[in-house]
Amino acid sequence: MYICFAEYRIMPQMREQYLAYTGDLLKGMTNLYLYEGTDQPGLFVEVWNAATAEEAEQIKEERCGERSSWYRISEWIEGGAAKMHIWTFKPVHPGAAKGN
């Protein structure tokens, strides 16, 4: 399992619009979790699950693409799209039991 992880800060005045928009985008999605920082309100992370490195790369490319439904969010990010950080992570110990 790989994850594609996106992190950004939403402008305070755009938070409610962001939440409404992402609520619609999340409907029916099973490979994405969206979190907001408890210590830093307005700081959001997206965690996209992918079965392979190639799938994670596709998610990353789609997420950053100007044609993506998710791209609209960049106008609400403090500093714009350049301030969205996105990475792919792979398991360090494949096959290890979760929670160990």
Query: How do residues 48-85 score in pLDDT, each as one tens digit?
Result: 999 999 999 999 998 888 888 998 999 999 999 899 99
Range of the domain at 30: 2-89
Whether residue 95 lies inside any domain: the answer is: no
Structurally, how many domains does the chain consist of? Answer: 1
- The predicted-structure confidence for 7-34, as pLDDT tens digits, reads as follows 999 999 999 999 999 999 999 899 999 9
In DSSP terms, 7 is beta-bridged to 45, 85
CA distances (Å), 71 to each of 57, 81, 99, in order?
16, 8, 34
- Give how far the C-alpha of residue 74 lies from the chain's centroid of Cα atoms, to the nearest Å: 12
Residue 98: inside a domain, yes or no? no
Task: Output the domain CATH number for residue 56.
Answer: 3.30.70.100
Is 22 contained in some domain?
yes
**From CA 52, how far away is CA 1, in angstroms rounded?**
6
